Chains A and B, each alone.
Chain A
Amino acid sequence: MYGAVKNRMTHEISTRFKRELSSFYVLVLLNLVFGALAMAFGIQSIIASVLGLTGGQTTPGFRMVTGVFSMVCFGLGIGWVLSSAKILKGITGIRRAFRHRTATATDETVTLGIVRMVAHYRENKKTIRTMILVCTLGGFCFLALGVMNSMEFFSGGISSGRFVLNSYLLIPSALLTLAIAFVSLLSSYYFLKFSRTWDLRQQETTRSEDILKKTLGIDKE
């Protein structure tokens, strides 16, 4: 009877762990893709701004602001990709042990996975905090860039109250920028959620270690 209950518990915990691991894996993978897109888009915007400056446009000040924003976005994109790749590397290793498993994992396999994940979080806590910051900053920078790009394809007069669409070609570019901004802010929210969950777990492991130390007399010092 106890064995059956224990097996069901292990199965439930294993399922929960696998689900959580997959969710985090998808989030980090999505970040890697959007980080790469942010980098590419940052470069594209820098070039567009520079070409605009040399092309003798009437609004060089506006172009320069866009160029600076593009550079910031490019830098944040690099940070975004590097952080995502670092986290992804660890997650892939932990996930490998569970991915192709069809039968219920043993107590030891599940606990080993949890130990690895706890260690992974402990090691990458700072990187995850950076990700939250980079995603939030990136989100707002891309939002600003998206708004600037949108302003470029609309021209009009406040006094006349008329807006004219300059070029249909600029619409996808502005939409892509806004999409990156949206994903970036959404990622920041999910990383924060993940971080809160794992901070709680880390506090719990510290408490558990105190209990282990006291009850079993295990103290390395």
Chain B
Amino acid sequence: MNSRRTPYEIYWEILVYCKSPRSFTTIINRCDLNSKTGQEYIEFLSSKGYLSFTKDGGRSSYVATERAHEYVVLFTEMYQKLFDTIPGFRL
């Protein structure tokens, strides 16, 4: 089912999930990604400054930055608007 998500939808899912620090494995499991594409998405978000990488002892994790909040809010508003402005389906 998740194969047809757009990159923007995947970015949003990763950023929302990384509100608290998460490991690479938990991110790809939760967001239903394989390790190759997961790596690509995480690298992209990190390069844009939306995710920061932390290493605490032996555990490495990713966490969403302040900058990511702007994207998450904009995305949420746009997607919720789909149910606000367009007449819904009813039986």
Contacts and interface: CB of A to CB of B under 8 A. Distances in A.
Interface of A: 9-10, 12-13, 16-17, 19-20, 23-24, 26-27, 90, 93, 107-108, 110-112, 114-116, 118-120, 122-123, 190, 193-194, 197-198, 200-201, 204-205, 208-209, 211-213, 215-218, 220
Nearest to A90: B1
A204 B82 contact: yes
A190 B90 CA distance: 9
Contact of B89 (A24, A90, A123, A217): A24
Contacts of B9: 115, 118-119
Interface in B55-84: 70-71, 74-76, 78-84
B8 interface: yes
Interface residues of B, number: 34
Nearest to B12: A115
Contact of A200 (B48, B81, B86): B86
9 contacts: A19-B88, A23-B90, A110-B80, A114-B83, A115-B5, A116-B2, A190-B91, A204-B86, A218-B48
A20 B1 contact: no
B88 A16 contact: yes
B3 to A, nearest CB: 7
Given A119-B9, A204-B81, 20 more contacts: A16-B83, A16-B88, A111-B12, A111-B79, A112-B13, A114-B82, A114-B83, A118-B9, A118-B79, A119-B3, A194-B89, A197-B88, A198-B89, A204-B85, A205-B6, A205-B78, A208-B81, A211-B74, A215-B74, A216-B74
